[in-house]
Structure 1
Amino acid sequence: MNLLPSLPFFTSSTIASPSATAPSQSPQSESHPAPLSSSTTQPSSLLNPSIVQAQQQEVNPDEGNNVSTTGSLASTSPKISLPEIFKKTENSVVQITSTRPGSDQIVTLNGREIPQNNIALGSGFVYDQDGRIITNHHVVSEVDEVDVKFVDGDTYTAKVVGKDPYSDIGVLQITDREFFDKRVAPLKIANSSEIEVGEQIIAIGNPFGLSGTLTTGVVSQIGRLLPNDVTGYSIANTIQTDAAINPGNSGGPLLDMKGEVVGMNTAIFSNTGVYSGVGFAVPSNMLLKEIPVLIEKGSYVHPWLGFTARDVSPDIAESLKLPRNFKGAAVVSVVENSPADKADIRGQATGVDFVGNEQVRSGDIVTKIDSQPVKSMDDVISYLDESKKVGDKVTLTVNREGQDAEVPITLEERPSSSPRLLAASSSQQQQQQEEREEEESDPNPPLFRFPEIPGFPELPKLFP
């Protein structure tokens, strides 16, 4: 995820990474869908097709606020009109201003050089009556203290007390005592697992610094995998929406028609850096799971298996003498000394036969995780993020050379290094080095390259 420098008055940030939906032929780690051969850095430009983090958007998590988070989260609140929802929630949605170190960089926009503004704007919302605010991690990633502005114009200082870059969640604590006299009602949080494709939803935030902006749309899809190039791991189970989300919306709430939080607006897919009808929100259930831990410990630890995999295409299935529509996650590579490696999960391997021809040995194909069917690597990632923690045991059912086997694995803490780097074999590293040397020796290199975006149509090349 490459964050673009701030523009005057507002900021934008870009995830120059694959889309939320990976193709069947792209190997994925359990937390990242990018091809193993993809570059770990991508060009940062407002001209680039990219997934743009709707810079600084906020979200509202779990206990301590005025919603019950025990048992079922299903709400009995009646659906209300859009004006009623706005009036009900506007006082609880905030604008976040952070001053980032360094302002000497230059943004090139349509051929014009614009000095970077080190003031970044985002959104957030009130989580509880103890002065806690929820927002995106990328809104507050480089600072320890921010200004929080409410719709009535009152501004308060808040400290950053919890961060999870992997799920892009940040927790703030307002420190000004006069805030507590306002008695601002926290937003209620709904159960995001109950939302359905086609439901109407509302996004409230501060696009381009325009405070208190409401937009509406529908749930376009659920369970999307959102890449994050900053961490190298993807965010699981995000909500896709066509509600207008733009730079400045990051961290703001995505609401249902009861005015309750179902997600936190986080990113958009765009060729231009602004709204194009495809936005993504971190689901409220992920907030409910992580926020109490972030408040208590300041960070959140994610479970990890340690392998990359690709979907089983009909061609792969037939080459392995499996039914054409066989489903599963074909293991490509395994990180050395990872939980998967310790459990003897086998990745794809290459060798040479007696006449010198290269031979490829297929790896294990994961078909179930704890009896849950696995149709693709997305299913593994989503299951771990939803249901497991570090130290838990899972059982993978794998097809190994035509035979089913059950493999128990104990989950460990996710390492900070990108899984694409951890899992890259020596041959892949050599290939990448050769490609870099070839690029450096090219007398006429392209001005820039578009990032590969699996799951989206190939975009036209601007330069030969």
Structure 2
Amino acid sequence: MRRVLTQNFSHIATVATIVCALCFTMPAIQASAEATAKLQDLSQAFRDIAKEVGPAVVFIGTEQTVKSSSNSPTPEQFREFFGDDFMRRFFGEMPQGREYKQEGLGSGFITSADGYILTNNHVVENADKITVTLADKREFKAEVVGTDPKSDVAVIKIQADNLPVAKLGDSETLEVGDWVIAIGTPFGLSQTVTAGIISAEGRSNIGINDYEDFIQTDAAINPGNSGGPLVNINGEVIGINTAIFSRSGGYQGIGFAIPINMAKSVQESLIKNGKVIRGWLGVMIQQVTPEMVKQFDLPEGTTGTLVGDVLKGGPAQEYGIQRGDVIVEFDGKPIDSPTTLKNIVAVTEIGKKVDVVLYRNGKKQTIQVKIAEQTGNEKQASKRGTPDEATIEKFGLSVQELTKDIAGQLGYDNEKGVVISNVEQGSPAAEAGLRRGDLIQEINKTTIESLDDYNKAMKAVGDEKSFLTLIRRGENTSYVVVSAE
């Protein structure tokens, strides 16, 4: 009897063990099933987007006639050194060069059923012939409607009707971490789809375009993807794939796309006016650094853009903006960098009066300015930090009078100041970016017109370990803080 009980208890224990194991494994199995379902939903979303947007993505092939400098370039490299007589004696009369066709490829996407296509300027720039291949393999010759090298956006058109159209989204709604999909023709492989996330927003100072506000993504982008769409999870185009950061020439996880809001504005202007109409303020601007916050008596933590110069005849001069002003708000929008101000001014309606909030001599004020049209000859550049001043002993800087001859040689006619004659290597002046030939026009906001002015200003610096200077280099002016700390 005892034996039977023992066996029964053994069976009961086994059953209990199985039941307990199931108690522990059931949630894990259930969680795994839920995760798989979510992944399947995501996979289905990618499939749906590819099917929805893919038909509106096109392959763009270009041909350009290029003239070579010589059929035999190697001897040509020595022509300047040896002279024409030597070259003719040993190589004979060299051919003047030949023409050949250079082919290019890129991507684009259809924005209207009657054939308007958005792409990059660098895809179609200087092309003699543009061929567009649709997803259904039909080919069309394309004409350039307009290009904008400053933003690297171009609009081309094919003669066709009832075309599939890509839905354009709102790039202002993006957030870092959002899923995105890139569609294009990398290396000529049409309808290639890659996925990734938004890695960063508002990337500027990349050095690609005059107007930069790039979306950064890790979705694979390669040569040939340029001009293709970057699409959000809703199947809306939120950017134009434009460039990659790479040391190998291929994908390394950092790609850049032009925000679709900027591209839409450019496209509308190109179609309507044949050119891009941009607003113009008429200032030379630069980033406010932490050192400048103290020098300009700004509240701690102030960000904005410093006015390095006010251009003659521009709206800024007309309405009273001055050199040394720090702009912190424009038309109700906060300004945290020169790029932000530049981009906002560019899209401001011509003739609109806007409030410009700025600091002047440490005091906050608002100036109303009427925006003019940028014609292409004006300068409104964002300048990266450059020149500074200093005494020979403390700052490693030597200066001399600006004579008429020196002014003529350096392009400083009608300017006043003192010229930097030497900058000691490794000195505070050198570290601040000052160069020989820079023109010093202010020290600590005191105007410098002569050596006497300079000596008095530097004497006033006294035991201070830094000073603020305004320098001119060529046609540009910049404020620079020279620090011996």
The alignment's TM-score, normalised by the length of structure 1, stands at: 0.63
Separation of aligned partners in 2, 1:116 and 1:258: 44
Equivalence for 1:120: 104
Give the 4+ runs in structure 1 shifted more than 4 A: 226-230, 420-438
Separation of aligned partners in 2, 1:239 and 1:218: 10
Separation of aligned partners in 1, 2:289 and 2:205: 22
More helix, by proportion: 2
Output one character per residue of 1:93-114: Cα deviation in whole Å (capped at 9) or x when no partner: 11111112315379xxxxxxxx
| Structure 2 contact 283–380 (Cα < 8 Å) conserved | no
Separation of aligned partners in 2, 1:234 and 1:227: 10
The structure-2 alpha-carbon separation of the partners of 1:304 and 1:170, relative to structure 1 and needing over 3 Å to count, comes to same
Separation of aligned partners in 1, 2:179 and 2:264: 22
Aligned counterpart for 1:211 among listed residues 190, 195, 203: 190
Separation of aligned partners in 1, 2:132 and 2:205: 27
Equivalence for 1:393: 353
**How is 1:138-177 mapped onto 2 (pairs within 5 angstroms)?**
138-143=122-127, 145-175=129-159
Residue 314 (1) aligns with residue 294 (2): no
Separation of aligned partners in 1, 2:435 and 2:331: 41
Letter in 2 for 1:294: L
Alignment: residue pair count: 330
Residue 255 (1) aligns with residue 215 (2): no
Equivalence for 2:245: 269
Aligned to 2:65, the other structure's residue is in SS state coil
| Coordinate RMSD, CA, aligned | 3.5
Letter in 2 for 1:86: A
Equivalence for 1:337: 313
| Structure 2 contact 230–237 (Cα < 8 Å) conserved | yes
Identical residues among aligned pairs (%) = 35
| Structure 1 contact 227–234 (Cα < 8 Å) conserved | no
Greater CA drift, 420-429 or 398-407: 420-429
Equivalence for 1:371: 332
* Structure with greater contact order relative to length (CA < 8 Å, sep ≥ 6): 1
| Structure 1 contact 203–244 (Cα < 8 Å) conserved | yes
| Structure 1 contact 144–159 (Cα < 8 Å) conserved | no
Equivalence for 1:297: 273
Equivalence for 1:408: 368
Aligned to 2:266, the other structure's residue is in SS state helix
Separation of aligned partners in 2, 1:228 and 1:140: 20
Displacement of 1:171: 1.4
Q: Which structure has the larger Rg? A: 2
Aligned counterpart for 1:185 among listed residues 156, 164, 171: 164
Output one character per residue of 1:6-61: Cα deviation in whole Å (capped at 9) or x when no partner: xxxxxxxxxxxxxxxxxxxxxxxxxxxxxxxxxxxxxxxxxxxxxxxxxxxxxxxx
Q: Specify every segment of 5 or more residues in structure 1 that has no aligned partner in the other structure, as ranges.
A: 1-77, 107-114, 348-362, 439-464
Aligned counterpart for 1:89 among listed residues 43, 53, 57: 53
The structure-2 alpha-carbon separation of the partners of 1:105 and 1:274, relative to structure 1 and needing over 3 Å to count, comes to farther
Displacement of 1:79: 9.8
Q: Specify every segment of 5 or more residues in structure 2 that has no aligned partner in the other structure, as ranges.
A: 1-41, 71-98, 388-406, 413-418, 423-433, 438-485
Equivalence for 1:11: none
Equivalence for 1:137: 121
Aligned to 2:66, the other structure's residue is in SS state coil
Letter in 2 for 1:273: G
| Structure 1 contact 199–218 (Cα < 8 Å) conserved | yes
Equivalence for 1:49: none
Displacement of 1:218: 0.6
Separation of aligned partners in 2, 1:437 and 1:120: 43
The structure-2 alpha-carbon separation of the partners of 1:411 and 1:269, relative to structure 1 and needing over 3 Å to count, comes to farther
Letter in 2 for 1:234: Y
Equivalence for 1:199: 178
